[in-house]
Amino acid sequence: MKVFSGTANKELAERIAKELGIALSEFEIFVFPDGERRVQVRERVVEEDCIIIQPTSPPVDQNYMELFFMIDSLKRSGARKVTVVSPYLGYQRQDHVFRDGEAVSLEVIRSTLESTGLNKIVVFDLHTIKTPEIFTIDFVHLSALELFAKTIAAEHLNTSSSLLISPDMGGIRRIEILSKLLHNMPYATINKNRDLNSGKVEANELVNFQDNASYTSALIVDDMISSGKTIVAAVDLLRTKGISNIYVFATHPVFSDEAKELLGSSHAKKIFVTDGIYVPVNKRFPTLHILSLAPLIAKELSSS
C-alpha cells in the first residue's frame, strides 16, 4: 500500500500514513503561471494499491482537478487499485435540479471520477445519505459520530442534564444515531428558516423540547459549518431557554470568510470540528478544537 497526498490537506495525509506505519509517498504537483497543474507520480506503483488523500473542499474546483490528474497519473503508471479518501465531497449538496435549467453538478462529478478509473472512494458524513446510490464504484460512507461520542464522554458532557440538538430538521437521523451511542441521551430539533436572498437564518422553535426540563448543557451536532449562521442562531435560541453551557460538534469546517467572526464571538463554550478539511490559522479562534479522523481512516484502509 502506498499513500499519496494532494495539496488540499497534507497534514491529514501525514497523520494517516503515521497511523498505518508507512511513509507518505510522493507526487510532484507543479503549478504553471496560468494556474494549470502538472501532476507526476515520483515512485514506482506498478501493481500497487494506492491511496490518495484529497478532500474536495474550497477551493473545490482546484482540488477536484488536481484529484482527477492524480488518479490518472497513478492508473497510467500501472497502479493495481486506486482509492480516494475525500472526507468532504465537494458539490454533494447539488444532487438534483432545484430550478429549471440547472446542471446536476454531483452527477457530473460522479461521472468524471468514475471515468478516471477510480476503484473506490471513502467519504465522511454526507449531507444526503442517498448520495452513494448514484455511484457505481465502491463507495464507503463513514461518520465522525463515533469520534464525537468519545469526545463527549471524555469532556464529561454526557450527563443527565445534557441535551443533544440538531440545528435543523434535516439532521434528525444524525442526532438519533448519536443519541444511541450515548445511551439514549435525550435530543431535540430546531425548526429554522433561511432567507434565500439575504442568507439570514432564524431559529424559530425547538421540537421535542420539554420547557419544564432542567437541562443545563446542550450539544449541537451538524454535518458541516459554512458561514456559522445556523450555529449562532441555534445557540441564541438555546440561551433563551436558560441553557448556558452550549457545545458544538460538526464534521466539516467549511468556514466561509465570515465564519471566524460569527463563531468566535458566539456564546458556544467549545466548537469541535474534524481535520477532514484543513482549517488555516487565519480562520481559527480560541474556542475551536480540531479532532482527527486519521485513526478512523487508517482503520478503514487497513481492513479493505
Residue 53: per-residue pLDDT: 98
Domain covering 145-292, topology: Rossmann fold (3.40.50)
Q: What is the pLDDT of residues 231-267, one digit of tens each?
A: 999 999 999 888 999 999 999 999 999 999 999 999 9
Task: Give the fold, CATH level 3, of 2-142.
Answer: Rossmann fold (3.40.50)
CB 262 within 8 Å of CB 283: no
Q: Which residues contact 179 (CB under 8 A, 6 or more apart)?
A: 164, 185, 186, 187
- Among the ranges given (62-66, 97-101, 282-286), the one the predictor scored with the smallest mean pLDDT: 97-101
CA–centroid distance for 6 within its chain: 17
Give the span between the Cα atoms of 231 and 225, in whole angstroms. 8
Mean pLDDT calculated for residue range 41-63: 97
Residue 293 grid coordinates: 479522523
Q: Mean pLDDT, the chain, as a whole number?
A: 92
Q: pLDDT tier at 195 (50, 70, 90 boundaries)?
A: low
Q: Tens digit of pLDDT for each residue in 121-150?
A: 999 999 888 899 999 999 999 999 999 999
Q: pTM to 2 decimals?
A: 0.92
Given a contact cutoff of 8 angstroms between Cβ atoms, the answer to whether 156 and 131 are in contact is no
The one catalytic residue in 192, 260, 270, 283 is 192
Q: How many CA atoms lie within 13 A of 44 on its CB side?
A: 2
What is the pLDDT at residue 206?
Answer: 74
**Domain-wise residue ranges, the chain:** 2-142, 145-292
- Does residue 192 carry a pLDDT above 90? no
What lies within 8 Å, CB to CB, of 115 at 6+ separation is none
**Helices marked H in 117-185 — which ranges?**
145-154, 172-181
- If you average pLDDT over residues 279-289, what whole number do you get? 97
Query: CA–CA distance from 7 to each of 57, 66, 123, 141 (Å)?
Result: 11, 8, 17, 23
The angle that helices 60-76 and 105-115 make with each other, rounded to 10 degrees, is 20
- Whether 192 is a known active-site residue: answer yes
